Amino acid sequence: MTRVVVNPGVCGKNVTIEVEKVGKRGVRVNITSDCNMVNEMGESLNEVDQWDVFKPPIDSPFYKCALHCRLHAACPIPMAIIKAIEVEAGLAVPRPVSLTFETVD
């Protein structure tokens, strides 16, 4: 099982994503969050095909679900779900992802 803990930023709604391989191509996604919209997304996804991570955003079940669940366009949760699935499926190695804001004069 792969677990990703996300601090999505200013909203302060912490998120834990757990992904577990099921069968040959399937992965089960479990999300726990302080955010009702993110929890709804987790319930909607439940089990998906690991190869869906390679679909472009317009065809991605993760971004379609985020849209349906009314997540903010800048919410990092769909990307975090995709990264967790890639790691659990052996399609990527676990590496930290971050954004660093810098003030430029």
Distance CA 30, CA 78 (A): 13
SS3 3: strand
Phi/psi class of residue 23: alpha, beta or left (left: φ > 0; alpha: ψ in -120 to 50)? left
Confidence at residue 92, expressed as pLDDT on a 0 to 100 scale: 96
Q: What is the pLDDT of residues 70-94, one digit of tens each?
A: 999 999 999 999 999 999 999 999 9
Q: What is the pLDDT of residues 30-44, one digit of tens each?
A: 999 999 999 999 999
Shortest CA distance to 45 belongs to which of 30, 57, 24, 59?
A: 30
Tokens of 11: 């909203």
pTM, two decimal places: 0.93
Tens-place pLDDT, residues 21-71: 999 999 999 999 999 999 999 999 989 999 999 999 999 999 999 999 999
